[in-house]
A and B are shown apart, each in its own frame.
Chain A
Amino acid sequence: MADLIAKLPCDGLLPLSIGKATLVEVVPVALTSVSPLKGAEKDLSKAMTKAHGVGFPGPNNSNGDDAVRAIWFGRAHALLIGPAPDSALVKHAALTDQTDAWAVVCLDGDAAESVLARLAPVDLRHSVFGLGQTVRSQLGHMTASITRVGENAFQIMVFRSMAKTLVHDLKTAMVAVDARG
């Protein structure tokens, strides 16, 4: 077999530091899409809490921390970020491995909110979008998942095939925000 070289989605593009914002790639151990079977959401949440310490998140919310995080990812849909899923979850949910399917980056710094304000059609200010809150929305022309993971830090996810566009759009916004002073 050919000697294949594993490449990260944002290989050669990150990290970036412009003005009061930094952008780094996040490399999760595993990403798993979790969709509860019909009527099984409560049992799934219990099983997730028992196995991974995080319950199934409600709309626009996430549970957990940098080690294990479950973020709401759409209608009847969450993404488990961190460990490979426990086999106990299979009884209550449809699981699919998404580990290499998403580009995951973290935008951090005092200017992070202003940078995202230029790209996303949702209000992401701290007063309405606190720690742990998440949205499925758009970033430029891409559908994205945006989660506040720190006081000034956002985790941003788009399809892996759009990694270069993601970095380009964020970089352009970071430069523009910095130029405003």
Chain B
Amino acid sequence: MRLPCPICGERDRREFYYKGAALERPAPDAGEAAWDDYVYLRENPAGDTRELWYHDGGCGAWLVVTRNTLTHAVIGAELASEAKA
């Protein structure tokens, strides 16, 4: 598996650390239900999924990687600092 780091280029999976689903953080006053959802509840999608990866063995950037859980295709990656959730 290779991930296309927007800074370094295409790199081997072992350079990266996996974090989890890329979610939009609720506002501080969004309420208990929204925060419960954000902290504990996850989708288990069959298809395209957006996840956070850290390029610790490379440039040190956090990435949002889009990949397909059915085909294992890696569709793309963008910097987490520039990504819209």
Contact = CB atoms under 8 A, between A and B. Distances in A.
A75 B12 contact: no
B59 A138 contact: no
Q: Is the interface of A mostly helix, strand, loop or mixed?
A: strand
Interface residues of B, number: 13
Interface residues of A, number: 12
Interface of B: 7-9, 11-12, 14-15, 56-61
Given A75-B61, A121-B15, A143-B57, 18 more contacts: A59-B59, A60-B9, A74-B59, A75-B7, A75-B59, A75-B60, A77-B60, A121-B11, A121-B12, A121-B14, A122-B12, A136-B8, A136-B57, A136-B58, A137-B15, A137-B58, A138-B14, A138-B15
Nearest to B61: A75
B8 to A, nearest CB: 6
Q: Is the interface of B mostly helix, strand, loop or mixed?
A: loop
Interface of A: 59-60, 74-75, 77, 121-122, 135-138, 143
B14 to A, nearest CB: 6
25 contacts: A59-B7, A59-B8, A60-B9, A74-B58, A74-B59, A74-B61, A75-B7, A75-B59, A75-B61, A77-B59, A77-B60, A121-B14, A122-B11, A122-B12, A135-B8, A136-B8, A136-B57, A136-B59, A136-B60, A137-B15, A137-B57, A138-B14, A138-B15, A138-B57, A143-B57
